[in-house]
Structure 1
Amino acid sequence: MLKVVIATDGPYGERAFENIKKDFDTEFIELEQPTSMFMDEIDIPADALAKIKQANILITYTQHPDLTLDLVDMVNKDVDYIIVAAWKGEGFKNQLEGYENVTCPYIMCELEENGNEMFDEFTSKIGKPKVNITLEDGKIAIIDVIRSSPCGSTTFVADYISDKYFSSDDLENIPTEAGLKLQHYPCRAAKMRLFSDEECKKEMASGFHKDAFEEGIKRGK
């Protein structure tokens, strides 16, 4: 079974852990955020490092840039793929993505298959939202979440749509409603990405969910 490790040095990553562990063998590791500004002062405990190296997929929510870079440098040859969820600045992003098996998504719910076997197995369940919608007599009967955003917002939206539109033939408004409902989910991506604009993030996530439900309805017809 695919092994996922989530590493953090702060308040982020726990919700992703709770959601991802429903589909994959997932471990949550808390690292101490360095207090020094110097790279050679960073210390990653040997037991934590050993667990991280056993992962197929590593997701870092570490906010200290030196810790993130040091960790990626130490484990990239052992881990199949690394997703850096928290990063600051295009230069830092380019430096990290200089490693062939590292990606720094602008927003975690944009992840899709890229041809890497392990990454594709992970993103078959987690990443850019995808839902299947079963219709009966032109009305919603079942909504299946095929791929969920890491934070779990896709299930949140699907449950709302299912409750509101079950036995309703108002299919036309469902995608817009799904996008709007995403706005009520407490997304923390913008706060985690120190440089980003919160409204822009929410608009992107909202658009992804609107598209997912639009496509789900088309497939269901």
Structure 2
Amino acid sequence: MKIGIVSDGKFGDRAFEVIRDRFPTEWIMAPFPQSIIVDDLELDLPECDLYISYVRHPDVALAIIGKKKPVILGVSFGPGFLRQAKAINEDIIAPATMCSLEDTTWVPAINEYAKVFGRPSFDVKVQEDGTIESIRVIRGSPCGSTVAASVELLGTQLSPEQLQHYGLRICHFCRAPRFGKTCDKEIAGLIHARELVHAISAVSPAAGARVRSFTDEMEKIIDQKITGE
């Protein structure tokens, strides 16, 4: 499967570097018009099975969507835009963050991508006291923050303080653009901390139980931020 990373130069460069290690990937530059509305915009895109759009202008994003290929919106423009886009091309995903995507969509190309990049998944070994002995990222964020921050977990002990620190390190490495409802850095940090706890709890229920009240609170915050309620 070939993936096209479409950018106007501001975002997507790190995702390109990370994704191309796992899939044939092409870097595609798109214009960033100064006008609010651009009529009859034509984009000449190389043929790809999936496009990931990091463009910041909605009309440029619509031109990508109009190619009728699966598209992941790395920069989104809200629910109204998404409804308009889906009237043109149904095979579009605008995930809450690029690290929340799962391989459960109706689009085979997006699912193939999301087996590797999306909601974090870990293979961990922990000691009885909750100390992380080893950790391997099975699925992580396309910006590389999952791998970069998780390396620092070796030898640390699961605790609310450590989870907060891990979330902050994810935010540090995160390249999330702050546009519309897409890729809030705080959500990215919370999702990573939650999934880390899930992975540890699967192999050491006792360790996970020590931070249960903290993780319950994380779940509430994630739900509130994603739903806007």
- Per the normalisation by structure 1, the TM-score is 0.80
The corresponding residue for 1:82 is 71
Task: Specify the alignment match of 2:107 in structure 1.
Answer: 116
Which residue in 2 is equivalent to 1:175?
163
The answer to whether 1:187 aligns with 2:175 is: yes
Give the structure 1 partner of residue 207 of structure 2.
none
From 152, 158, 168, the equivalent of 1:160 is: 152
Q: Which of residues 115, 125, 128 in structure 2 aligns to 1:134?
A: 125
Q: Following TM superposition, where does structure 1 have runs of at least 4 consecutive aligned residues deviating by more than 4 angstroms?
A: none
TM-aligned CA deviation for residue 116 of structure 1: 3.0
Name the aligned partner's letter for residue 208 of structure 1.
I
Asked if structure 2 preserves the Cα contact closer than 8 Å seen for 1:109 and 1:129, the reply is yes
- Once residues 14 and 182 of structure 2 are traced to their aligned partners in structure 1, the CA distance between those partners, rounded to angstroms, is 21
Give the aligned length: 199
Task: Give the distance between the partners of 2:181 and 2:49, measured in 1 at CA.
Answer: 28
> Equivalent residue for 2:201?
218
Retained in 1: the 8 A contact 2:118–2:141? yes
Residue aligning to 1:69:
62
Offset of 1:135 from its aligned partner?
2.9
Gaps of 5+ in 2: 205-229
The DSSP-based 3-state class of the residue aligned with 1:209 is helix
* Partner deviation per Cα, 1:74-128 (whole Å, 9 max, x = no partner): x11xx3x211122223211211133221112232111112243222111011011
Percent sequence identity is 29
Mapped pair 1:43 → 2:42: yes
Aligned to 2:11: 12
Residues 171-180 or 5-14, more deviating? 171-180
Equivalent residue for 2:51? 58
Instruction: Say which SS state the counterpart of residue 173 (structure 2) adopts.
Output: coil
Aligned amino acid, residue 163 of structure 2: P
**Structure 1: gaps (5+ residues):** none
Partner SS state of residue 7, structure 1: strand
